[in-house]
Amino acid sequence: MSFFAPFCLPFMIGAAVMFVLLAWKWGSWLWRLPEADKRLVAKGIFTRATPEAVWETVRESLLHRRIFRIDPLLGYMHMSLAFGWFLLISVGWIETVAYLGLRYVPLQGHVFFKYFATGLPHKPAFDFVMDLLLLLVLSGVALAWFKRLRSRALGMRRTTRHVAGDRVALSALWFIFPARLAAESITCALYGGGSFLTGGLGAWLAAHVGVMPLMTAETVAWWFYSSCLGIFFVALPFSRYMHIFTEIPLIFLRRYRLRSGEKQSSYDHFQVEACSRCGICIDPCQLQSVLKIDTVQSVYFLRDRRYGMLRREVADNCLLCGRCAEKCPVGIDLNTLRVNSRDALRNVPDERRYDYFQGLDRSSGEGRVGYFAGCMTLLTPRTMQSMERIFEAAGERVWWADREGGVCCGRPLKLAGETDSARRMMRYNTELFRKHGITTLVTSCPICLRVFREDYALEGIEVLHHSEYILRLIREGRLPLGRTTERLAYHDPCELGRGSGIYEAPRAVIEAVGELVEPAHTREEALCCGSSLANTAIDDGQQVALARNVAEELDATGAGAIVTACPLCKKALGRGTATEVRDLSEVVAARIRPAAGRATK
């Protein structure tokens, strides 16, 4: 049996072009990986990481488990397309073997098997399974059409706008399966076979259309089907569908512990092109839902970056709140990519700019415990005073790093993309901490906390957020507190919650002094206060609008006061509501019972 007909050509050419392009892309990305990353791959490849990655590939790339969790219908759509198509291909392969035994069949022989197999005796079981799978995929295609028309039904308020490559690929993709249905049905009409779908349609056609027109239609239909495939394959590497083949190496590389950093690297390609532009990241973004800005969300940012058309306005206009990354089904490290894009757009190292740090030391006090207020806490003196009272009540000897002014932790500068200069601040502060020999570093600012934990090299110094530190004091019995029945609504700061994974400590502290209540969006879902330092693009009015929106939910709890654990959130929320906003340390300091021991001393 020869497995060639002229109509196969578009498919064969398309597939060849696609494989060459893919090999080139993967190859050059891997080749250009930094040495350290290559070593990680070499180290990880023969460990458990590899089978784990295989399993994750099945779960996410084929079954789309994470999308299912966001919305079952949307998950079904992605699953039916990806998994359905995968099954069509693999069952098709088995079918070929069942018919012909184990022998070499060229690629187009598998793909267009129905066309070539007309002379062979039918195997109804395979016909049935293949029809069922085709139906599965077609239902996904129908849902995709439906999604374009009414995305709200699939749990998404907005869907993504497309670039040219996407349009070509998408149109081809939408036609592939209807075309396959048509081609196979017509062949069934002429030669019999098929099951409930292609067979049924074929029988109907045979009854209503003459043989000559059917013969012509068959050639046209197979040509059309093959062309759709060919066009799709050629467009794929230039379109969002590149994610199909990029997500797989991404999963492996991630398991080998490769990460994006503050400088762009070759690994970023795998993350950027793994974005399917599903648009799931659009809805959680408050810039979209509250401010109606709809050009800056992660999906657009990644698209612009990928096609080299990223503008500063887009890169800068993001709160780095992490709400989108929390939902991204591919698990792309969106915030880090945004930061290293800003670095690439802006970073102009000026070696002299911070020469004034030389010899600077305004710290005071002495103790193994250091307290770093951070710039924002210096603007919220009540937090500062409360921390003083807490330290005093616990009898802690404290070294004050920056009570009389000091150098910023460096995170605001890093988030703005000036990463090299930020490193100078980090070096300065690290030396200061070392010089004073502290073993514990407490900060009341989650922004500082995060940079201390992620970017500083502070081996031997335990870094604690004040919520964790206060909780420890309470548990150790060093901080006697009186509990009241006051209802306190807690707002999760982005840098503390999603950023540092600290959700429990502040809640436990609040419960020690009052009754904790939570707003509608809380923990991983918490809203951003709107004044994030990461955003230098939105104006004052927009910040207030965001704050109002967040405060509304907090006020709806009917709590007597709003409590947060970040000086910046405190300032920001205060502008959005008449309710009093307090820092965690304030509510604690107000409930300190005079210690019995101290009183009788």
Partner 1 sequence: MAIEFGYTISKPRAIDIDRNNLRKSDEILREMPELQTCIGCGSCTAVCTAGNLTSFNFRRVHTLVRRGEYRGAYEEMNKCMLCGKCRLVCPRGINTRGVVLLLKRKLGDF
Are 565 and 550 a contacting pair, CB within 8 Å?
no
Provide, rounded to whole angstroms, the least separation between the CB of residue 293 and ligand SF4: 9
Provide, rounded to whole angstroms, the least separation between the CB of residue 388 and partner 1: 20
Provide, rounded to whole angstroms, the least separation between the CB of residue 41 and partner 1: 36
Closest CA to 529 of 503, 548, 504, 513: 548
Provide, rounded to whole angstroms, the least separation between the CB of residue 556 and ligand SF4: 22
- Beta strands 369-372; 364-365: pairing state: unpaired
Per the listing, tokens 């670095």 go with 343
Provide, rounded to whole angstroms, the least separation between the CB of residue 572 and ligand SF4: 14
Residue 353 binding result from partner 1, ligand SF4, none, given CB thresholds of 5 to 8 Å by partner type: partner 1
Which of 130, 138, 141, 299 binds ligand SF4 (CB under 6 A)? It is: 299
List interacting residues with partner 1 (CB under 8 A). 346, 348, 350, 352-354, 356, 360, 362, 375-376, 378-379, 405-408, 410, 412-413, 416, 418, 425, 531, 533, 536-541, 568, 571
Query: What distance in Å separates the CA atoms of residue 113 and residue 105, rounded to the nearest whole number?
Result: 10
Residue 280 binding result from ligand SF4, partner 1, none, given CB thresholds of 5 to 8 Å by partner type: ligand SF4
| C-alpha dihedral (512, 517, 445, 287), degrees to nearest 10 | 170
Please, which residues have CB within 8 angstroms of residue 596's CB and are 6 or more apart in sequence?
A: 480
Provide, rounded to whole angstroms, the least separation between the CB of residue 417 and partner 1: 9
In the chain, helix, strand, coil percent, each to 5?
60, 5, 35
Q: DSSP per residue over 168-181, as a string?
A: HHHHHHHHHHHHHH
Size of the site for ligand SF4 (CB under 6 A): 26
Closest CA to 118 of 128, 105, 127: 127
Q: Does the protein bind ligand SF4 through residue 281 (CB under 6 A)? A: yes
3-state per-residue secondary structure call for 20-36: HHHHHHHHHHHHCCCHH
Residue 413 binding result from ligand SF4, partner 1, none, given CB thresholds of 5 to 8 Å by partner type: partner 1
Query: How many alpha carbons lie under 13 Å from residue 225 in its C-beta half-sphere?
Result: 26
Provide, rounded to whole angstroms, the least separation between the CB of residue 416 and partner 1: 6
Mask of contacts with ligand SF4, 312-341, x by CB under 6 A? ------xxxxxxx---xxx-x-x-------
Provide, rounded to whole angstroms, the least separation between the CB of residue 464 and partner 1: 22
Q: Write down the H helix ranges in 209-307.
A: 211-235, 242-255, 267-273, 286-289, 298-306
Residue 277 binding result from ligand SF4, partner 1, none, given CB thresholds of 5 to 8 Å by partner type: ligand SF4
Per the listing, tokens 């259309």 go with 209
Mask of contacts with ligand SF4, 412-441, x by CB under 6 A? ------------------------------
Per the listing, tokens 């969790």 go with 69
Are 29 and 266 a contacting pair, CB within 8 Å?
yes
Mask of contacts with ligand SF4, 240-279, x by CB under 6 A? -----------------------------------xxxxx
Residue 302 binding result from partner 1, ligand SF4, none, given CB thresholds of 5 to 8 Å by partner type: ligand SF4
Q: Which residues bind ligand SF4 (CB under 6 A)?
A: 275-281, 284-285, 287, 297-299, 302, 318-324, 328-330, 332, 334
